[in-house]
Every structure is written in C-alpha cells, then in structure tokens.
Chains A and B, each alone.
Chain A
Amino acid sequence: MFEITGAPLTADVVADAVRVAECGGVVTFLGTVRSPSHGREVHYLEYEAYPEMAIPKMEQIAAEIRERWGLTRVAIRHRVGRLEVGEASVAIGVAAPHRHAAFEACEYAIVRLKQIVPIWKKEVWADGEEWIGWDAQFPRPES
C-alpha cells in the first residue's frame, strides 16, 4: 500500500496492510506535526506532493528494503493539505519474519522517504511561513 491522501492517517491501516502469517513482527511509525519547531510556535502545516513521482519512489523504498532484509512487507501513506499540530503526516508499516528486521527496515523507510520522495511541508507560524523540504542528505541524481 503506497498512497498520498488528504484524509487522516492511523497506524492501524498500515499495520493491517502488511500483516501476513509469515511475518511475526510488525512495526509502525507515525510522523506527527510538532510544535514548537526550531524554537517557533507552529500554527499549522501545509503538505504538498508530486504524487505521480512520490508513489513510485515509495515503491522503490520497499524494493530496497526487500533487497536488504529479504522477506518484508511495507506500507507507506503520506498525507497532504493542511495539518494541525499533533496530526500524523506520514504512516509507515513494516512486517518481517522477526522484529529486529522490522524495526531496522521501518527506520530505513522513513530516512529514505525524506531523501527521495518529493513531498514538501510549509510551516506556518503566527508571524510567517517557510517551506521545509528535505533533510541535509539531499538526493543525488542517481537516487
């Protein structure tokens, strides 16, 4: 399950999407809107995606995880539009036969998502706004 959605996200949806008999460990991650951010009180966030590119890049992450950890199942959903403080912007579920791989692969998924999936957020404060796009590990052309 790889999705860009305007609807609220829950961990249950991505957990249920990846559960199978062969996998005894399911790890979910929710990224939520934080305030304060960089010392400023966040009013709300606006998320924007390049959906036609974001979905294949999410699929690429799942393929990379299968390559590194073998049998795994991955679900990634990202929300777009206006999000209030505390709401989830991203939900990731990873299932693996054993918990160690599931924890590691879930961490890998969120790190890679920020590197190669074209999604942006604009922080809106009481006194201004700014696009916060990618972390320091900006994607290289071969990503």
Chain B
Amino acid sequence: MRLRLRFFAAAREAMGRSELGLDVPEPYSVADLLARLRAEHPTFAALPPSMMVSVNLEYRSPEYELHEGDEVGFIPPVSGGTGAGYV
C-alpha cells in the first residue's frame, strides 16, 4: 500500500524534504514506519525519540495500523537543549 508522509520542522530538515510517497507491505504500523525511517535515514534517527505521529490529522500511537492512502505526519518535539524550558 502507498502512504503519503509529511515532515515538519526538525523532521523536515532531517529528511531534507517536506513530503514523501512510500510503498509499504501490509500490515504496517506507525512503529514499523518509524523503524524504517530511522534505519534508512541516520539524520532522522538522530531526532529525539519522542516523535509524535499523526494519521489523517489525528495523533496516533505506535501500535496504530496504517491503511492505503493514509497521510502520516511527523511532529517532532522540542529539539533538545535550551528548548526544554519553553513556556
């Protein structure tokens, strides 16, 4: 099945792009997708592990099963360092 991936902020810079179409086998979970991106893109793997993921505009947990045509958004948290105290 084909997924549409969207990257923002630190995730966009780590991937060097804001969008990516990706073919994956079924079944495939959010966790599977994160593991693949981390394996194939060292700069993505270097991001903080607490990456949030949205599927079709709703936050989803790592166990969530993806479906054909889903839009998956990668929503990075504070990128470490001085950001921790942001209010």
Q: At the interface with chain B, which of A4-12, A87-95, A129-137?
A: A129-137
Contact A120 B73 (CB under 8 A): no
Complex Cα distance, B82 from A136, in Å, reads 12
Chain B residues near A118 (CB, 8 Å)? 8, 54, 73, 75
B46 within 8 A of A: no
Given A40-B82, A50-B8, A135-B86, does the pair A141, B59 have CB atoms closer than 8 Å?
A: yes
Using CB atoms, name the residue of chain B closest to A56: B57
Minimum Cβ distance to chain B for residue A53 (Å): 4
Q: Among the listed A38, A56, A142, which residue makes an inter-chain contact with B82, where contact means beta carbons less than 8 Å apart?
A: A38
A131 interface neighbour in B9, B52, B60, B87, Cβ under 8 Å: B9
- Residue from the set B9, B77, B79 with the largest chain A CB neighbour count within 10 Å: B9
Interface size on B, residues (CB 8 A): 27
User: Given the interface contacts A53-B54, A133-B77, does A120 sit within 8 Å of B82 by beta carbon?
Assistant: no
Residues of A within 8 Å of B61, CB to CB, are 141
Hey, what's the 0/1 contact readout for A101-143 against B, CB within 8 Å counting as 1?
0000000000000001010101000000011111110111111
A interface bracket (residues with beta carbon within 8 Å of B) = 20 to 34
Residues of B within 8 A of A84 (CB): none
With a cutoff of 8 Å between Cβ atoms, the chain B residues found around residue A48 in the complex are 8-9, 12
Of the A-B pairs whose beta carbons lie under 8 Å apart in the complex, a sample of 19, sorted by A's number, is A38-B82, A40-B82, A50-B8, A53-B57, A56-B57, A120-B9, A120-B10, A130-B81, A130-B83, A131-B9, A131-B13, A131-B76, A133-B10, A133-B75, A133-B78, A134-B77, A135-B78, A139-B52, A141-B52
Listed in ascending order, the chain B residues whose CB lies under 8 Å from chain A are 6, 8-10, 12-13, 50, 52, 54, 57, 59-61, 64, 73, 75-79, 81-87
Which A residues fall within an 8 A CB radius of B?
38-40, 48, 50, 52-53, 56, 116, 118, 120, 122, 130-136, 138-143
